[in-house]
Structure 1
Amino acid sequence: MDKSDVSLISMRSFVRVAERGSLSAVARELGIGQSTVSRHLQELEESVGVPLLSRTTRRVTLTDEGSRYYANCVQILRLIEQAGDEARGTRGAAAGSIRISCTAAFGILHISRLVFAFQDRYPKIAIDLNLTDERVDLVREGVDIALRLAPLTDSSLKLRALGHSHRLLVASPDYLKRRGTPLTPQDLIGHDGIRMTNVAGSETLVVVGPDGERHEVPFRGSFRTNHGLGVREAVLSGRGIGGSHAWLVDDLIAAGRLTVLMPDHHLTSTPLNMLIVPERAGIARVRLLIDYLAEEIARLPGIRPEP
């Protein structure tokens, strides 16, 4: 094979194998056979003339030459994609695919709806919405944008702060009728609390008063869950008092199915951030979605500007 004969499909397969470290994972992702991925890599290495990958029974890693070649391939593929975007842009047609990773409850209740509206506006853009509360390696998983409710410090990614998510205390009218309505932070002691198992320190509730004073209250209960939708259902079912993001329960509050406790108090808020893979930020369709989500998320219940 001529050394100048490098196909884009082989290059794309190589980049994804380098990022995922697995031929089988890339084969599933691309919807092709593992043998096809292997052939792409073999053809690429023959064209380049040096080994790019080191293969073991458990993992595929880059050689020193492969690391340098990978960095150049990423830039080449990005430029090709941007060129296509610019060409299509002359006809006003945004097209292609975008992969988003989002906290599950937030994605189900709000982001999915926003994505549907975005696709109505840009019908040629395909969206892959991955809902998970686990931290994922965006580059490794082929994700363009991630929405996360937590403080973030990953300097390798572009971070766009979207604000803070306001949190409050809620309970069902049935529970309050049976157990009484807390009027002060100290009144919460002895009540059944709905706790998150994946939140450190959830056995203590930090309640902030109207004067900014912080009250630390023991928070106990017989039901715990690792998912925000589990908290929503437990509180709605009268199992106890829950600390919740406003966007998680605003519809239930409006319908009178949940009651906000101590409305002049609140829980500590949570930063809401958008993470963007730098190599994808310059692609037209990704930029469109970034700007759209930032604008629309600011309108959601309980999402407030940076304090």
Structure 2
Amino acid sequence: MRTFIRVADRGNLSAVAREMNIGQSSVTRHLRELEDALGVVLFSRTTRRVALTEEGRRYYTNAIQILHLVEQAGDEARRARESPAGTVRVSCTAALGVRYISRLIFAFQDRYPEIAVDLNLTDERIDLVREGVDIAIRLGPLTDSSMKLRALGDSRRILVGSPDYLALHGRPSAPEGLVNLEGIRMWNIAGSDTLTLEGPNGDTHVVPFGGRLRLDHGLAAREAYLAGRGIGPAHIWLVDDLLSEGLLETILPDQAPPSVPLNMLIVPERAGIVRVRLLVEFLAREVLAIPGIERPLGL
């Protein structure tokens, strides 16, 4: 039944075989045995994909509920010996995952040694159900209303550059002076050709932001700032160590790019499973110790 659900979600036998670490022939056998036992055809098959039949769609809905109950029963049994176990699958924004979330996962596993964690680092907005993910940690606005959303806080940003670059090209004293500096831009973020800065009194400045280097990963931007390739906005957690070591400095400290919301998405059917709930609560509590992550008023 688990194999059936993963094939229904992925639509590809070889992908499910890799994910479950079994041979594709085993996946095919599982489906054949299930169809033989039920006496119905669950999938229509082509050379490249499999798709659910009408009977398969009805069975899929019931199978998810059944396996959820099976997992809950296992959790109840394990709870009697006070030792949560099993696997939690987590997806996280890549740079944040490398810099901080991975360390939180280590600490969580030290506390719960029988819980395995599969950590997937990506900036893509993946389909949690299709990819078999329980929890996703994401920066920026979210639109998936089918998931449970847990607001974690806001990630503060600053404008940074290397001391050598600023010594050579000048340290601007006002937002208008930024137009003379080389910008490090993120091509996968809409509107990166302008830079919005907010002042302490609520005043906002929008200035053109150009540059020859465009990237699609926060860790690459970190390296570009460090190498003196230009200036740009950065989450505090991305560069906090470089700032403390004097390898980067803050530009216009009284003017900052808007903060970015940090949220956790949880697959509703998985939220009640003990090991998932334990990790959700642990991360929600511990992320506030990450530099630059602040709990907004009312959260």
Scaled to the shorter chain, the TM-score interval is over 0.9
The reply on whether 1:303 has 2:267 as its aligned counterpart is: no
- The secondary structure found in structure 1 opposite 2:212 is strand
AA of the residue aligned to 1:110: Y
Q: Write the mapping of 1:168-207 to structure 2, written as runs, cut at 5 A.
A: 168-207=158-197
Equivalent residue, structure 2, for 1:292: 282
1:239 to 211, 229, 232: 229
Gaps of 5+ in 2: none
The runs of at least 4 aligned residues of structure 1 exceeding 6 Å deviation read none
Q: Could you report, residue by residue, the CA deviation over 1:157-184 in whole angstroms, capped at 9, with x for unpaired residues?
A: 1111111111110111111111111111
Contact kept in structure 2, 1:171 and 1:258, CA below 8 Å = yes
Equivalent residue, structure 2, for 1:108: 98
- How far apart are residue 52 of structure 1 and its match? 1.1
Q: Distance in 1 between matches of 2:41 and 2:143?
A: 35
- How far apart are residue 306 of structure 1 and its match? 3.1
The reply on whether 1:30 has 2:20 as its aligned counterpart is: yes
- How far apart are residue 224 of structure 1 and its match? 1.5
Contact kept in structure 2, 1:190 and 1:220, CA below 8 Å = no
Equivalent residue, structure 2, for 1:144: 134
Q: Distance in 2 between matches of 1:290 and 1:183?
A: 43
- How far apart are residue 217 of structure 1 and its match? 0.6
Equivalent residue, structure 1, for 2:63: 73
Return the TM-score normalized by structure 1: 0.95
Equivalent residue, structure 2, for 1:18: 8
Q: Distance in 2 between matches of 1:139 and 1:269?
A: 29
Q: Could you report, residue by residue, the CA deviation over 1:56-89 in whole angstroms, capped at 9, with x for unpaired residues?
A: 1121111111111111111111111111111111
Q: Distance in 1 between matches of 2:296 and 2:52?
A: 41
AA of the residue aligned to 1:50: V
Equivalent residue, structure 2, for 1:7: none
- The secondary structure found in structure 2 opposite 1:116 is helix
- How far apart are residue 265 of structure 1 and its match? 1.2
- How far apart are residue 232 of structure 1 and its match? 0.5
Gaps of 5+ in 1: 1-10
Q: In the comparison of the two structures, how many residue pairs are matched?
A: 297
Return the TM-score normalized by structure 2: 0.97
- How far apart are residue 268 of structure 1 and its match? 1.3
The reply on whether 1:39 has 2:35 as its aligned counterpart is: no
Q: Distance in 2 between matches of 1:63 and 1:117?
A: 44
AA of the residue aligned to 2:5: V
Equivalent residue, structure 2, for 1:135: 125
Identity over aligned residues, as a percent?
65
